Amino acid sequence: MTYKSIIPLVLLIALSSCKSQLVEKKVTPKPKNVILLIGDGTGLSQVSSAFFFKETSPNYARFKTIGLIKTSSSREDITDSAAGATAFAAGIKTYNGAVGVADDSTAVKNLVEIVSTQNIKTGVISTSSIQHATPASFYAHAINRGLYEDIAADMVTSEIDFFAGGGSKFFNKRKDGRNLLVDLQNKGFKIDTTALGSFEDIKQQSKMGYLLASNHLNPTAKGRGDYLSKATELGIQFLNKEPDNSFFMMVEGSQVDWGGHANDADYLISELIDFDDAIGKALDFAERDGNTLVIVTADHETGGFTLASTPKKTESGETYSSYKEITGTFSTKGHSATLVPVFAYGPGSEAFSGVYENTEIFHKILKVTNWIDKN
């Protein structure tokens, strides 16, 4: 072998060893924490409204990874929030009205149950009662979403570490006369029914629960203000107070859906903007932390909401559609079957691109975190 022919050979060996090192180093990073934000009833037009009606840049614009999910339930083309949240929380398709139970009404393990055996902290936040279908699906099992007192009892036996929402009456004004707030306190909870505190106020507590309404909280425009953003920040601080621990937190913008049902565009858009503010708090933390996966999605779309052109008349009385002015219009008082978007940020986020079933949200979370059920 000549000297000249050896050089390319040496180069080739050097290059191939470099290449194998690169391949070995390309391990997918596992997120330590997961924050799942569910905008109830938030389809693409609802999300788009932030781009036209929010005065600052929407936090939705901060995501690079986008997917779409199919939301049908086991028996219906159009899901309700119970089957929709159970798909996220337990990874199964079930019937409308089912909270944490399968199509045959048997209880199915949810994310909170799976991860809390692994010393992972958990929290749920909503602007509805905490027993309403979406938050309930993360800690309760009920064959019918209307069994609010049974769902409240499941909070006592769950391993949740932090919650904020409404629904105090299902704990302390019950048909069976029990006061489950006492049971929660016996389990280590501090319960506050007055207002969100500061992190300094609560950091010594092992578990913290806020119940700030007898049933649902008010709309943001009617007194709730920035509760959802503040609760999101506080929940993150509380669940992350021992930074070696992982946490999973679900945050629901519950009332975007109610604006849709009411066919009230102002209500819907103000709730959507409020939810977008909470998304911003989760993303701010995830950016600082570098180890947190943020997923934003919806259980379904509500109202068949459209950012439509506005019917106008010319001076001579001819009707036309003005493209200079948006009118929020609706096609139904109920939900719709349209695919809904998924936004993901942080380590593991790439797994959330594509078009897939809503149940995959659960499976993808467990896969990218390696929080697989070890029991």
Structural contact between residues 292 and 31, judged by C-beta atoms closer than 8 angstroms: yes
> What b-and-e string marks burial along 2-21, b requiring 16 or more CB atoms within 10 Å of the CB?
eeeeeeeeeeeeeeeeeeee
What is the rounded distance in angstroms from the CA atom of residue 99 to the CA atom of residue 101? 6
Q: Choose between 81 and 122: whose C-beta lies nearer to Mg ion.
A: 81
Record the tokens describing residue 141, joined without a space. Answer: 């099992």
276 is a contact residue toward Zn ion (CB under 5 A): no
233 part of the interface to Mg ion, by CB under 5 A:
no
C-beta separation of 251 from 234 below 8 A:
no
The rounded distance, in Å, linking the Cα atoms of 199 and 319 is 57
Provide, rounded to whole angstroms, the least separation between the CB of residue 334 and Zn ion: 7
Binding letters toward Mg ion, positions 40-79, x by CB under 5 A: x---------------------------------------
Binding residue count for Zn ion, defined by CB under 5 A: 1
Contact 78, 336 (CB under 8 A): yes
Stretch that binds Zn ion, among 192-200, 203-211, 241-249, 255-263 (CB under 5 A): 255-263
Task: Kindly tell me which of 283 and 298 has the beta carbon lying closer to Mg ion.
Answer: 298
Which span (33-41, 108-116, 138-146, 329-337) binds Mg ion, by CB under 5 A? 33-41
Task: Output the smallest distance, CB 134 to Mg ion, in A.
Answer: 3
Q: Which range in 191-199, 245-253, 256-264, 313-321 contacts Zn ion by CB under 5 A?
A: 256-264
Q: Give the torsion sign (CA, 195, 286, 35, 374).
A: negative
- Measured in degrees and rounded to the nearest 5, phi and psi for residue 258 equal -75, -35
**Nearer Cβ to Zn ion, position 161 or 257?**
257
**Part in contact with Zn ion (CB under 5 A); list of ranges 91-99, 217-225, 250-258, 346-354:** 250-258
Q: Catalog residues that contact Zn ion under the rule CB under 5 A.
A: 257
